Chains A and B, each alone.
Chain A
Amino acid sequence: MNIVLVDYGAGNIQSLKFALDRLNVDAVLSSNKNEILAADKVIFPGVGEASSAMQKLESSGLDLLIPELTQPVLGICLGMQLMCSHTEEGDTLGLGIFDVAVKRFKSDVKVPQIGWNTITNMKYPLFHNIKNNEYMYSVNSYYAALCKETAAQTQYGLNYSCALQKNNFYGVQFHPEKSSKAGSQLLLNFINLNL
């Protein structure tokens, strides 16, 4: 299987590569359009600030490529947020794959959220063999609201979408590569998707 991690200079892609190595899954880091198009699965990571990450995507033309992909695509953290319609962070237009806006947490909770939080109302197949109320590790100041594409929820001041799915596109707000065994299970579920 041919797995590509989209390498557009936004954050710590190495951790994800190491997590896949631990699962004996080969993956290549690439920003090459042809390599991404030819991949069986595409993982779209990202940490950092939204508007500068979006600029990096635009300067490489990946902003046009990613929404057109037909193989399974998994956005992680900022990657997932950039797949949404808009984010309040830097007032940034997203890729518009998920029909939901990303907002900043209100100050009734500590911002950023840092740590392990529970996930509920999960949809299959991404959450196969992951139990309700499992803990996943998140670091985020912004969240995608609940919407018809919500594939799992987390509560932090309010209930938000910690996972989204639409057709071949998946996104998770938490970091599966840092979420111990449950996170590894989620990565394996994505790798094993048949589409």
Chain B
Amino acid sequence: MLTKRIIPCLDIKDGRTVKGINFVNLRDAGDPVELARQYAEQNADELVFLDISATEQKRKTLAVLVRKVAQAIDIPFTVGGGISSVDDVAILLQNGADKVSLNSAAVKEPELINKLAAQFGSQCIVVAIDARQINGQWMVHLVGGKVPTKLDLFEWAREVAKRGAGEILFTSMDHDGTKTGFANKALARISEEVNIPVIASGGGGNLQHFMDTFIHGKADAALAASIFHFGEISIPRLKKELKNKQITIRI
């Protein structure tokens, strides 16, 4: 049986790991390569690196980091943050990234999804969607959730799947950093509307939240950051407890 995945997310700025609450107040949680190695040892199923730095050196720094991570770990990892061209993707994949995650660039240029899927295959193209509810409607947001768009979450999810995305990483900005659970209703609806895997992100704070997102949210994978980085939840223990609760999980 295909297992549900537990995915720690490492936010990267200038080659270091950071994670904020609601994307502000950054705290330093260490060396990304060391953290990656630790997570692989702890049986994390996959890792996501999100580069939030905005320097001119960014592309080069990120490629170097990706290479170091790929050398160090034997589980798959995804890289995202500011990816906006075929060249950006090529350099990351060449250095050993397994998948890339697109966000704003996909909204600005939806055709980019088609191009990347045609060139590299859908299997390595993740589209990250950040959304929050405005007057009861889930609206896609950009720039770490700061800039609203006119896109409806579910319509956009259908479109990215149709254009060749291999996976959707959905972050609820309403839940991110709150540790009150994932946006399970919206997640379940995405899973009904598209036939590609969906990663739940934003709001995971305890075992029950992960249980709920796999069962009620129909998520294929669940992503979290600070609760793992700061040891609030240990991945081996989380996975063991999920397995005890009959969730299909890799121990």
Q: CB-defined interface of B77-109 with A at 8 Å, one 1/0 digit per residue?
A: 000000000000000011111100000000000
Once the chains bind, are A141 and B75 in contact (CB under 8 Å)? no
Interface range on chain A (Cβ under 8 Å from partner): 35 or more
**Cβ A47 vs Cβ B2 within 8 A:** no
- Chain B 113-131 interface 0/1 with A at a Cβ cutoff of 8 Å (1 = within): 0000011111110000000
Say how far B69's CB is from chain A's closest CB, in angstroms: 10
Q: Is the CB of A114 within 8 A of B250?
A: no
* B123:A141 contact, CB within 8 angstroms: yes
Q: Mark A153-187, 1 if CB is under 8 A from B, else 0.
A: 00110000000000000000001011111011000
> A13 — nearest CB in chain B belongs to which residue?
B94
Asked if A67 is an interface residue, CB under 8 A from chain B, the answer is: no
Instruction: Check: B11 CB closer than 8 A to any chain A CB.
Output: no
Set of chain A residues within 8 Å of B4, measured between Cβ atoms: 115
How far is it, in angstroms, between the C-alpha of A137 and the C-alpha of B74 when the chains are bound?
Answer: 10
> Is B134 located at the chain interface by the 8 A CB criterion?
no
What residues on A are CB-neighbors of B76 within 8 Å?
Answer: 137, 139, 175, 178
- Verify if B202 is at the interface (C-beta below 8 Å from A): no
Check if B1 is an interface residue, CB within 8 A of chain A: yes
Chain A residue with the shortest CB-CB distance to B94: A14
For chain B, the count of residues having a C-beta within 8 Å of the partner chain is 36
Q: From B96, which residue of chain A is reached at the shortest CB distance?
A: A14
Cβ–Cβ contact A118 & B1, under 8 A: yes
Given contacts A14-B95, A49-B118, A115-B2, contact A19 B74 (CB under 8 A): yes
* Closest B residue to A181 using CB positions: B74
> Which among B3, B121, B197 has the highest number of chain A CB atoms within 10 Å?
B121
Contact indicator A177/B197 (Cβ below 8 Å): no
Residues A48 and B120 in contact, CB atoms below 8 Å apart: yes
Instruction: Say whether B238 faces chain A, with CB atoms less than 8 Å apart.
Output: no
Q: Is A26 close to B, CB under 8 A?
A: no
A115 touches B220 (CB 8 A): yes
Which residue of chain A has its CB nearest to the CB of B97? A12
Q: Determine if B221 is an interface residue (Cβ-Cβ < 8 Å).
A: yes
- Looking across the interface, which residue of chain B has its beta carbon closest to that of A48? B121
* A44→B164 CA distance, assembly (Å): 26
Q: Which chain B positions have C-beta within 8 A of A34?
A: none
Most buried by A among B74, B76, B95: B74
A contact residues around B43 at 8 Å (CB): 180
Q: B51 near A: Cβ within 8 Å?
A: no
Whether B98 lies near A12 (C-beta < 8 A) is yes
In angstroms, how far is the closest chain A Cβ from the Cβ of B126? 9
5 cross-chain pairs, A with B, having the tightest CB-CB distances, nearest first: A48-B121, A139-B123, A135-B250, A117-B2, A116-B250
- Residues of B near any A CB (own CB < 8 A): 1-5, 40, 43, 45-46, 67, 70-71, 74-76, 93-98, 118-124, 166-167, 195-197, 220-221, 250
Could you give 27 example pairs across A and B, Cβ below 8 Å?
Answer: A11-B93, A12-B96, A12-B98, A14-B70, A15-B98, A22-B71, A47-B120, A47-B123, A47-B124, A48-B119, A49-B118, A49-B121, A110-B195, A110-B220, A111-B195, A112-B196, A113-B2, A114-B123, A115-B3, A116-B2, A116-B250, A137-B76, A156-B2, A178-B74, A179-B75, A180-B40, A183-B74
Q: A22-B74, A139-B123 are in contact. List 12 more A-B contacts (CB 8 A).
A: A11-B121, A14-B67, A49-B121, A110-B195, A110-B220, A111-B196, A115-B197, A115-B220, A117-B2, A137-B76, A156-B2, A181-B74
